[in-house]
Chain A
Amino acid sequence: MRPRHLRSAWAIALLALLPVAAAFAAALLPPHEAFALSARALDPQTLEARFKVADGYYLYRDKLKFNLDGAAPVTISAELPAGKVKHDEFFGDVETYRGLVVIRLPLATAQASHKLTLMTESQGCADVGVCYPPQRQVLTLDIPAAAAGPSEVVVAPIGRPAWLK
């Protein structure tokens, strides 16, 4: 008799846990892990950003923005690879990224300073049916001398992202 009681106790315990797990989507990654960002300078006039999109998550191509911080932030015309087209009833066709996304960021002028601050904006969702608000991340990159080769990869700091207003 006892094992059966134990079994039902376990069954009840497990049943009780199911809705809790479902309701809170406990496995949901924080956005900086779902869309891990790193960047480096390839040369004084070219940066490269990488998003490692975790399985089960995707980023919107048209929500990606890159700026150089300064007295007046400069918009970078990013070379965004083609994404997977997804039809959206409200926004029409939108492109999404999964897996590794490598984005070249050509700068209008070669950087004279040794460091620059790259500001990124991104927005994505999880397949389980939730979306994150737009994320803003800031990275400080070393700029290599003209013939020195790419700089070291800088990983976006983990922290509470700033919500865009």
Chain B
Amino acid sequence: MEVGADLVLVSTWRRWLPRLVLMAAIAIAGVLSGKFVGNRIAESNPAPVSGAAVYGVSLPDLAGTPQSLGQWQGKVLVVNFWATWCAPCREEMPELVRAQAKYGAKGLQIVGIGIDDAAKMRQFTQSIHLNYPALDGGFGALELSKAFGNSAMALPFTVIIDREGAIALQKLGPVSPEQLESIATQLL
């Protein structure tokens, strides 16, 4: 059921893609041109014009070094919005670590965007031996997640972008291991 459900979901998104691309581009453009300029999200290019708007986002990692999500363009990009104050997020993350270990070499790239205090994030990510980048999004990253479909602005929220820059899945709440497997099998 899970696998079938994901297939339906992916095909639904493909159909909706043009509209979503436009919505995301508009939302991101608004976000980037507004309060985030010079704040947590630095944007080196003009407003993104494609659904691959995520590639235009740059956030500091937990060491403070800016990281552009564009460096993972061409990979299957799993962007997971999380926080230490969110128990379901913390419970989900070991699964993401497993998926990164299993599918990383095939082109899966998980990126965690934390909406939290950097020190707490460092402590937690070390405790679970995080094997993918964790970025410091600040509370502003909730708006970013909203632009990608997280209208409830609750966590965890995950958006999966395929190699072509199309949104393959948007998920509020933990992504199940079966869902991750199914997505990886379909997109890699």
Seen from chain A, the residues whose Cβ lies within 8 Å of a Cβ on chain B are: 15-16, 18-20, 22-25, 28, 30, 60, 63, 88-90, 123, 125-126, 128-134, 163-165
CA distance A163 to B140 in the complex (A): 9
| B91 → A minimal CB distance (Å) | 8
- SS of B interface (majority): mixed
Tally the A-B contacts, defined by beta carbons under 8 Å: 80
CA distance A45 to B171 in the complex (A): 47
Taking CB atoms, residues of chain B closer than 8 Å to A129 are 88, 156, 173-174
B139 adjacent to A23 (CB under 8 Å): no
| A121 → B minimal CB distance (Å) | 12
B172 adjacent to A24 (CB under 8 Å): yes
Does B119 sit within 8 A of A, measured CB to CB? no
A88 adjacent to B8 (CB under 8 Å): no
Taking CB atoms, residues of chain B closer than 8 Å to A63 are 85
A interface footprint on B27-47 (CB within 8 Å = 1, 0 otherwise)? 000000000000000000000
- Answer whether A131 and B89 are a contact pair too, CB < 8 Å, given A23-B172, A90-B84: yes
A interface footprint on B79-115 (CB within 8 Å = 1, 0 otherwise)? 0000111111110000000000000000000000001
CB neighbors of A among B1-21 (8 A):
4-6, 8-9, 12
A28 adjacent to B152 (CB under 8 Å): yes
B154 adjacent to A23 (CB under 8 Å): no
Interface size bracket, B side: 20 to 34
Taking CB atoms, residues of chain A closer than 8 Å to B152 are 25, 28, 30, 130
B87 adjacent to A88 (CB under 8 Å): yes
Taking CB atoms, residues of chain A closer than 8 Å to B156 are 129-130
Seen from chain B, the residues whose Cβ lies within 8 Å of a Cβ on chain A are: 4-6, 8-9, 12, 83-90, 115, 124, 127, 138-139, 142, 152-156, 169-174
A125 adjacent to B86 (CB under 8 Å): yes
| A158 → B minimal CB distance (Å) | 15
Taking CB atoms, residues of chain B closer than 8 Å to A165 are 138-139
B85 adjacent to A19 (CB under 8 Å): no
A128 adjacent to B127 (CB under 8 Å): no
Contacts A126-B154, A129-B156 given; 4 further ones with Cβ under 8 A? Answer: A24-B170, A90-B124, A131-B155, A163-B139
Taking CB atoms, residues of chain B closer than 8 Å to A15 are 4-5, 8
The contact of B83 among A23, A60, A133, by CB within 8 Å, is A133
CA distance A30 to B154 in the complex (A): 9
Taking CB atoms, residues of chain A closer than 8 Å to B87 are 88, 125, 131
Closest-by-CB residue of B relative to A22 is B5
B12 adjacent to A20 (CB under 8 Å): yes
| A95 → B minimal CB distance (Å) | 14
